[in-house]
C-alpha cells in the first residue's frame, strides 16, 4: 500500500500545530519536512529547532528532506531525536557512505534524493546501503510546481536495479503530485508519495489523501 506524506511546506505556518493534527487525523502516513538553506536551493524554510518541536508533537513518522549544501550540520541531532526518515541530495557530493552509515546505525532510515536532471544511475553504487531513494519530480526549492514526467522512466530503471540488490528499497516521489499524476506512480511501484499544494489547497485534507491513495483504481494506464 502506497504511503502518503503531506509536505508541510504548503501548510499554514501560523497554525502549524492545527495543520499537523489535521493531516494526521485525515490519514497521513508520514509527515514530510522540507529543509532549505537558501544555498543549495534559492529558498529558505526552517531548521533544527522546528524539526524538534514537530517530532515531539507528531504521532506519525517524520521524513526530513534536506535540501542543503551541508547535510552534516544536521545529522547528529536528527539521529539523536530518532527522526524516522532522513534524505540528503546526491548533488551536494557530500560524504554519502559515511552519512548513510551514521543514520542507519542510529535507527534512522537513510535516503538519497536526486534532482530531475540527475541520472538515476549515478546512485547505483550506493543502492545496497540505502533504505530509500527520493526522486524529485520538480526542481527542488518551491511547492506548487508542475510534475515532470521524465521521472517515470527513472523510477522504472531504479525498480529493476533495486530488485536485484536491495529489494526492500523504498522509492519516494516528491513534487507536483496530485490525483492526475499519482495513478501512474503507484502503478509503477512508488512506495511514498509526497504532496504539498494538492493536499493543503483546500480544507478537506481527508478527501485529498484518500484520492491520492486510491488513485490506482481510477488509472487508465
Ligand atoms: C520541493 C519540495 C516538495 C514540495 C512539494 O522542493 O521538496 O516537498 O513541498 O510540493 P508540491 O506537492 O506542491 O509540489
Ligand atoms: Zn520535499
Average pLDDT, the chain: 96
Which residues are known to be catalytic? Answer: 34, 174
pLDDT value of position 220:
46
> Which residue CA neighbors atom 10 of ligand 1 most closely?
143
Contacts of 141 (CB under 8 A, 6+ apart): 36, 41, 42, 43, 67
Measured CA distances, 43 to 19, 35, 105 (Å): 22, 9, 31
Lowest mean pLDDT among 81-85, 92-96, 141-145, 196-200: 92-96
6, 19, 34: residue to mutate for ligand 1 pocket, most atoms within 8 A of CB: 34
Supply the range of the domain harboring residue 103: 3-218
pLDDT tier for residue 86 given thresholds of 50, 70 and 90: very high
The residues with which 64 forms a beta bridge, in sequence order, are 33, 86
Using one digit for the tens of pLDDT, what is the confidence trace for 171-211? 999 999 999 999 999 999 999 999 999 999 999 999 999 99
Q: Using the predicted structure, report yes or no on whether residue 156 has a pLDDT greater than 50.
A: yes
φ, ψ at 86 (rounded to 5°)? -135, 130
Instruction: Answer whether 65 contacts ligand 1 (Cβ < 6 A).
Output: yes
124, 158 in Cβ contact below 8 A?
A: no
Average pLDDT, stretch 53-63? Answer: 98
pLDDT tier for residue 94 given thresholds of 50, 70 and 90: confident
Lowest mean pLDDT among 8-12, 54-58, 71-75, 94-98: 94-98
For the chain, percent of residues with pLDDT exceeding 90: 95
Ligand 2 mean position, distance from CA 34 (Å): 5
| Number of domains forming the structure of the chain | 1
Residue with cell 534536506: 66
Average pLDDT, stretch 50-68? Answer: 98
pLDDT value of position 217:
44
Average pLDDT, stretch 52-61? Answer: 98
Nearest ligand 1 atom to alpha carbon 175: 14
pLDDT tier for residue 93 given thresholds of 50, 70 and 90: confident
Instruction: Answer whether 140 contacts ligand 1 (Cβ < 6 A).
Output: yes
30, 64, 143, 178: residue to mutate for ligand 1 pocket, most atoms within 8 A of CB: 143
CATH number of the domain residue 114 falls in: 3.20.20.70
- Residue 144: how many other CB atoms lie within 10 Å: 13
Ligand 2 mean position, distance from CA 165 (Å): 26
Amino acid at each position: 500500500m502506497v504511503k502518503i506524506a503531506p509536505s508541510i511546506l504548503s501548510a499554514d505556518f501560523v497554525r502549524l500545530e492545527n495543520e499537523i493534527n489535521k493531516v494526521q487525523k485525515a490519514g497521513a502516513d508520514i509527515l514530510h519536512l522540507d529543509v532549505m538553506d537558501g544555498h543549495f536551493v534559492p529558498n529558505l524554510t526552517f531548521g533544527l529547532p522546528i524539526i524538534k518541536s514537530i517530532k515531539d508533537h507528531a504521532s506519525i513518522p517524520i521524513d526530513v528532506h534536506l535540501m542543503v549544501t551541508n547535510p552534516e550540520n544536521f545529522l547528529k541531532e536528527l539521529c539523536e531525536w530518532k527522526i524516522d526518515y532522513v534524505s540528503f541530495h546526491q548533488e551536494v557530493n557530500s560524504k554519502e557512505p559515511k552519512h548513510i552509515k551514521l543514520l542507519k546505525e542510529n535507527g534512522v532510515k537513510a535516503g538519497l534524493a536526486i534532482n530531475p536532471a540527475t541520472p538515476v544511475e549515478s546512485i547505483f553504487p550506493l543502492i545496497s546501503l540505502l533504505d530509500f531513494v527520493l526522486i524529485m519530480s520538480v526542481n527542488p526549492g518551491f511547492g506548487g510546481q508542475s510534475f515532470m514526467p521524465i521521472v517515470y522512466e527513472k523510477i522504472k530503471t531504479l525498480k529493476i536495479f533495486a530488485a536485484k540488490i536491495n529489494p526492500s528499497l523504498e522509492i519516494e516521489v516528491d513534487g507536483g503530485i496530485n490525483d492526475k499524476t499519482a495513478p501512474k506512480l503507484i502503478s509503477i511501484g512508488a512506495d511514498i508519495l509526497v504532496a504539498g499544494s494538492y493536499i493543503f489547497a483546500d480544507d478537506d485534507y481527508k478527501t485529498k489523501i484518500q484520492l491520492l491513495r486510491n488513485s490506482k483504481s481510477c488509472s487508465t494506464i
